């Protein structure tokens, strides 16, 4: 019996992950005045990163639900591993 494909983003506790384009990444880093490696990291092997096709060097935008703030947006730099 084959295992079914499971979409981790269908689970209510998994936040939305969006892979930024090169232009969006450059604009974000300029606005924050940061180098990409200065952002918090996410490994390329992370299930959510793998699901969106993130590769080392990419930047991922993560949108989380928050009881107090409504929505929280964070960014992660994809590293090998």
pLDDT band at 66 (very low <50, low <70, confident <90, very high): confident
CATH 3.90.940.20 is the classification of domain 8-79: yes
Task: Specify whether the CB–CB gap between 2 and 45 falls below 8 A.
Answer: no
Task: Specify whether the CB–CB gap between 75 and 28 falls below 8 A.
Answer: yes
Q: What is the pLDDT of residue 13?
A: 74
- The contacts of residue 32 (CB under 8 Å, 6+ apart) are 39
Q: Is the predicted pLDDT of residue 12 greater than 80, yes or no? A: no
Task: Specify whether the CB–CB gap between 78 and 59 falls below 8 A.
Answer: yes
Sheet with 59-66, strands from edge to edge, namely 16-19, 59-66, 70-79, 41-43
The mean of the pLDDT values for the chain is: 91
What is the value of pTM for the model shown? 0.85
Q: What is the pLDDT of residue 3?
A: 55
Domain ranges of the chain: 8-79
User: Each residue of 26-55: pLDDT tens digit?
Assistant: 999 999 999 999 999 999 999 999 999 999
């Amino acid at each position: 019996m084959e295992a079914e494909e499971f979409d981790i983003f269908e689970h209510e506790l998994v936040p939305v992950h969006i892979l930024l384009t090169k232009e969006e990444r450059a604009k974000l880093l300029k606005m924050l005045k940061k180098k990409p490696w200065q952002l918090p990291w996410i490994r390329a092997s992370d299930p959510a990163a793998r699901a969106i096709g993130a590769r080392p060097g990419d930047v991922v935008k993560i949108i989380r639900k928050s009881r107090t703030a409504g929505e929280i947006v964070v960014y992660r730099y994809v590293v090998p591993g």
